[in-house]
């Protein structure tokens, strides 16, 4: 089950996602990212985009995934509220394939903050003692 939250950080907002799988944690942290920008509960899945990224490790994979979503937001004016992620481990790292669904940004989404960039600040990906996965970072607001 996917869950996400924002956490306090001195000048920015931390985002954290949880899931019963690594993929669900990535989906949840992507939801947390977009909820910094808009009310994701108001985003309808009218348009979908396929995203494929690679990373030498899980942190690079998460960075590249969220960066690609931010590029889609900036270039096409889309906000996303639904994600489906698949992660494969290969010989030279990891590959992620995702489907992100949403719609063009409008006033109905209750625009909030602008996320300028994805960062490695406080980035952490780990399996918790209860078996769930957690992924977190502090994007540049």
pLDDT digits (tens, 9 = 90+) for 94-133: 999 999 999 999 999 988 889 999 999 999 999 999 999 9
H/E stretch holding 73:
helix 58-76
Task: Say which residues have a Cβ less than 8 Å from residue 117's Cβ, sequence separation at least 6.
Answer: 67, 70, 139, 140
- Judge whether 36 and 13 are in contact, CB under 8 Å: yes
Using the predicted structure, report yes or no on whether residue 7 has a pLDDT greater than 90. Answer: no
Domain borders along the chain are: 3-137
Percent of the chain with pLDDT over 70: 93
- Judge whether 66 and 72 are in contact, CB under 8 Å: no
- Judge whether 100 and 69 are in contact, CB under 8 Å: yes
Nearest to 135 by CA among 23, 35, 55: 23
pLDDT value of position 11: 63
- The domain made up of 3-137 has a fold known as Archease, Possible Chaperone; Chain: A; domain 1 (3.55.10)
């Amino acid at each position: 089950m996917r869950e996400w939250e924002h956490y306090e950080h001195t000048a920015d907002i931390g985002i954290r996602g949880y899931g019963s799988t690594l993929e669900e944690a990535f989906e949840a942290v992507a939801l947390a990212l977009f909820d910094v920008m808009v009310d994701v509960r108001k985003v309808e899945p009218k348009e979908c985009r396929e995203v494929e990224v690679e990373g030498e490790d899980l942190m690079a994979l998460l960075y590249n995934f969220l960066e690609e979503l931010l590029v889609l937001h900036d270039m096409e004016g889309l906000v996303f509220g639904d994600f489906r992620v698949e992660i494969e481990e290969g010989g030279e790292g990891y590959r992620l394939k995702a489907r992100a669904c949403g719609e063009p940004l409008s006033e109905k989404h209750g625009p909030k903050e602008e996320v300028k960039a994805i960062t490695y600040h406080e980035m952490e990906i780990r399996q918790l003692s209860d078996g769930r996965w957690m992924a977190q970072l502090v994007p540049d607001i």
